[in-house]
C-alpha cells in the first residue's frame, strides 16, 4: 500500500518527480488575475486532429496549459481514446504536435465558467476558428462541447460525432465537454467517445 499522505480531499499527494509535484497549484490571486487572459494555441500546419475547447478556464490561463484544471478529463480521455501512448500532464502539451494533435479554443479569453460567454462571442469565435482551420489545414477538427458548437455555428440540432458539413477543408467532429462539471459522461464513456474519433482518423475517413 502506498505510504503517500492523503490530504483532506482523499487523494494522495502527487508522486515525487511527477509533473503535478513540480508545478504548484496557482493561488487565488493568480487565478483572479487570469480572467480575460489569452492562452496561446498548441498548433502546427497539417495536424491529424485539432481539438477545439470552448474557452480557457482560469487554471489554464494562469498556468499556460490547456485543460489544466484538476478534475478536467480531457487528458485522460485523450489517452483512453488511443491518441497518446500515456496520459500526458497538461504541462506536456507541447508534445501533442509531434503526435499529429493540437489544441485551440473557440473563444480566446479566459473565464471562470464557459457559460459566462455570450452568444455573440461564440459566433465570432466560430468565424475565427474557420479562418484558422483554413490556414493550418488539419485533417480533422474536433469541437469539445456540443452546446458551444450549436450556438457558434448556428447548428441547433447538432449531436455528437461526425458532422455532415466540413469546416474549411477539414472533417468535423463534436465531442462531449470533458469538464468535471459534465455529469452526463463518465471517464469511461468520454474515453469511448474520443476512441470513436480516433478510429475514424486512423481509418482515414
| Residue written as grid cell 487565488 | 28
Active site residue 66: yes
The β-bridge relationship of strands 101-105 and 171-175 is: unpaired
The β-bridge relationship of strands 49-53 and 140-144 is: parallel
Beta bridge partners of 175: 144
Say if residues 60 and 110 touch (Cβ distance below 8 Å).
yes
Annotated active-site residue in 55, 72, 105, 177: 55
Active site residue 55: yes
Annotated active-site residue in 66, 72, 105, 177: 66
> What sign for the dihedral angle of Cα 195, 178, 79, 136?
positive
Of 99, 26, 100, 90, the closest CA to residue 53 belongs to 90
| Residue written as grid cell 498548441 | 42
The catalytic residues are 55, 66
Amino acid at each position: 500500500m502506498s505510504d503517500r499522505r492523503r490530504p483532506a480531499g482523499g487523494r494522495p499527494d502527487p508522486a515525487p518527480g511527477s509533473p503535478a509535484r513540480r508545478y504548484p497549484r496557482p493561488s487565488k490571486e493568480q487565478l483572479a488575475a487570469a480572467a480575460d487572459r489569452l492562452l496561446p494555441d498548441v498548433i502546427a500546419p497539417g495536424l491529424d486532429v485539432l481539438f477545439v475547447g470552448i474557452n480557457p478556464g482560469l487554471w489554464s490561463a494562469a498556468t499556460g496549459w490547456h485543460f489544466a484544471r484538476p478534475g478536467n478529463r480531457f487528458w485522460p480521455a485523450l489517452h483512453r481514446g488511443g491518441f497518446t501512448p500515456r496520459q500526458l500532464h497538461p504541462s506536456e502539451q507541447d508534445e501533442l504536435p509531434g503526435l499529429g494533435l493540437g489544441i485551440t479554443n473557440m473563444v480566446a479569453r479566459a473565464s471562470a465558467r464557459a457559460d459566462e460567454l455570450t452568444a455573440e462571442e461564440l459566433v465570432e469565435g466560430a468565424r475565427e476558428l474557420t479562418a484558422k482551420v483554413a490556414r493550418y489545414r488539419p485533417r480533422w477538427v474536433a469541437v469539445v462541447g456540443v452546446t458551444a458548437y450549436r450556438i457558434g455555428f448556428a447548428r441547433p440540432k447538432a449531436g455528437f460525432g461526425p458532422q455532415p458539413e466540413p469546416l474549411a477543408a477539414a472533417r468535423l467532429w463534436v465531442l462531449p465537454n470533458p469538464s468535471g462539471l459534465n455529469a452526463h459522461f463518465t471517464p469511461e464513456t468520454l474515453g469511448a467517445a474520443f476512441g470513436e474519433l480516433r478510429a475514424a482518423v486512423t481509418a482515414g475517413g
